[in-house]
Amino acid sequence: MKYIVVTGGVMSGLGKGITAASIGRILKNRGYIVTAVKIDPYLNIDAGTMNPAQHGEVFVLRDGAEVDLDLGNYERFMDIELTNDHNITTGKVYRTVIEKERRGDYLGETVQIIPHITDMIKCQIKEAAESWRGSEGPADACIVEVGGTVGDIESMPFLEAVRQMHGEAAPGDFVLIHVTLVPADTMGDLKTKPTQHSVKALRELGLYPDIIVGRSDLPIGSNTKRKISAFCDVPQQAVISATTAPDTYQVPMELEKEGLADVLTDLLRLEVHEPSNDWYRLVTREYLHRITVAIVTKYGIEDVYISIKEALKHAGRSLSTEVNIRWIDAEDCTNGVLSEVDGILIPGGFGTRGIEGKIEAIRCAREKRIPLLGLCLGFQLSVIEYARHCATIPDATSEEMGDGTHVIMILPEQEGEVDLGGTMRLGDYPISIKAGTLAEKLYGTGEITERHRHRYEVNPEYIPLLEEKGLIFSGRNGDRMEILEIPDHPFFFATQFHPEFRSRPTRPSPPFIGFVKACMAEKKTAER
C-alpha cells in the first residue's frame, strides 16, 4: 500500500480536500486503484450533529455514515464509494481507546497519547486503506488528508502518527504533500514567507514535505519556485503551482500541467502508465445551452448544498448545458421571482424556519407548470402542499412542524429516540419503482438503490386519499414512500432520498438529468 498524506498550512480553507481528490483522480487516470481517508481533528464522533451553516454539508456514505463534505469530493473525483472507516475523528479514536481501556485490553498499562492514541490512529488508517475494495479490487494507494492546519493543537496526535508511519514505511511507500498559501502583495509579487514558516512548523514536528503545493490566485513562476525550493528543502520540480481554477474538476488537469504526476510516480516508484484523457475531455466540454434554476434555501451558505450544486453541474455538463443557480431565501420567496427561472429545486433541511416559503414555491411550480425537483424535506413539503391544495386538507403539515393534520409523521423507529447523532434513517436502501412512471423512465429499471438521511415519512393513513386525488407515489421501500410525481406536468418529481450523494461527473444522477432536460424544454417553449 502506498500512502500519500496531505497536510495544510497558513490557513484553513485552502483546498486540501480538492487537492487530495485531484491527486486521486490523477492516479486513477493512470490506471491505479485509489482510496482515501479524511482525518478530522474535532472531538465529534462524526459530522451528523454539526451545524451545516458553520461546517458545511453533512455528506452521507453508503453505510449511513455522516461525514465531512471532503469525502463527497473524494467520491465524485475518484468515482469510488467509501465507508464510515474512511473518516477518522478525534472522537472516534479516543472512544475506541477508552473502550479498550475499560475492557482491560491494555493489561494495566498507563494509557497515554503516545503510544496508545497514535497507535490507534495508525491502525485505523491502515485498516481503512487495506480493507477497502472497489469494483476493480483492492487499492494500490491511499490518500490521507489531515484536517486543520499545522500548529493546531487538535492535530498534534495525528501528525505524530503520520511521522511514525513515515518512519515505518518502506522506501517509495510514503509521500508527504504540504498545501500552503502563496499570497500576492499589492504590487502583484508572490510572497513565500508564509510557506517558509509553515514548512518550518512542520519540520519541527519531524515531518519533511516531499512536495509543496502552493495555492495562489496567480501562477507561481520559476523564480518563486526556486526560492521555495531553497528555503524548504524540496526539489524545484516538486514545488507545484495550484492557481484557482474556473471549475474544481479542472484542478487535476492543472496539476498535471505542473508535472505533479511525474514527481508523484517517481517518489512512489510506480510504473509510468500513459494517462487516460477521458476525464479532461469530459470536464472541458463546451456548453451549448444555459438555464437558470432557483434553489429555495433556509441556510445562507452555499457549501451546505455542495452535492446539489455538483449534481446539477454533472447533469448539465452531460447535456452540454450550463446551469446557473439563483439562491432564494425561503423567507423572502415570491412568485414573481420564481416565475423568472427555468426550474425550482427544494433541498433538504431541518426545523420550521422557512417552511411556508418553500411550500409556496412548490405551489408556484405546480400551478405555473415550472419544472420542480424536491429532495428529502422537499419531498415531504410537496406532499403537504398537495394535501392542502388538491386533497382538501387545509391544515396539512408535518409532525416536525407542530399542530395540524400530520400527513408527514415521524418514523415509528424514531419515536422516543433521544440521541441525535447517527440515529436517523441513513445510507443506502433499495427502492422498487412502479412501471410506466416517470421514475422508471428516468432510471431505466424497476429496482434502484439511493442514500437517505431523514426522521419523517409520509403518513400511511393519507396515502390512499393523496393517490385518489392524483398524486403518484412511483417509488417505494416496502410500505415507505420514496418517490412522488404528478402526471400532466412538465416535471414535478420529488424523492425522500438524496440522489445528489451518488451523482458523479462520469455518472450523473437520473433525477437531475431529467430535471435539467425539463428545464431546457420549458425554456425553449417559453422562447418560441
Handedness of CA 509, 511, 512, 513 (dihedral sign): positive
3-state secondary structure of 488: coil
| Nearest in space to 524 (alpha carbons), one of 257, 319, 302 | 319
The string of DSSP letters for 41-97 reads -SSSSSSTTS-HHHH---EE-TT--EE-HHHHHHHHHHT----GGGEEEHHHHHHHH
| Cell numbers for 48 | 451528523
* Bridge partners, 180 (sequence order): 214
Per the listing, cell 464509494 goes with 81
Is there a catalytic annotation at residue 500? yes
Q: How far apart are CA 74 and CA 80, in angstroms?
A: 8
The helix-helix angle for 118-131 and 156-168 (nearest 10°) equals 60
* d(C-alpha 403, C-alpha 409), whole Å: 12
Annotated active-site residue in 310, 450, 482, 500: 500
Instruction: Determine the Cα–Cα distance for residues 180 and 232; give it in Å rounded to an integer.
Output: 12
Q: Is 376 a catalytic residue?
A: yes
Active site (annotated) includes residue 123: no
- Identified catalytic residue from 454, 498, 519, 522: 498
Q: Cβ distance 438 to 493 under 8 Å?
A: yes
Residues in the chain: 528
Torsion of CA 421, 422, 423, 424, to 10 degrees: 110
**At 98, which helix (H) or strand (E)?**
helix 90-103
SS3 for 32? coil
Catalytic residue, chosen from 376, 452, 485, 519, is 376
Residues taking part in catalysis: 376, 498, 500
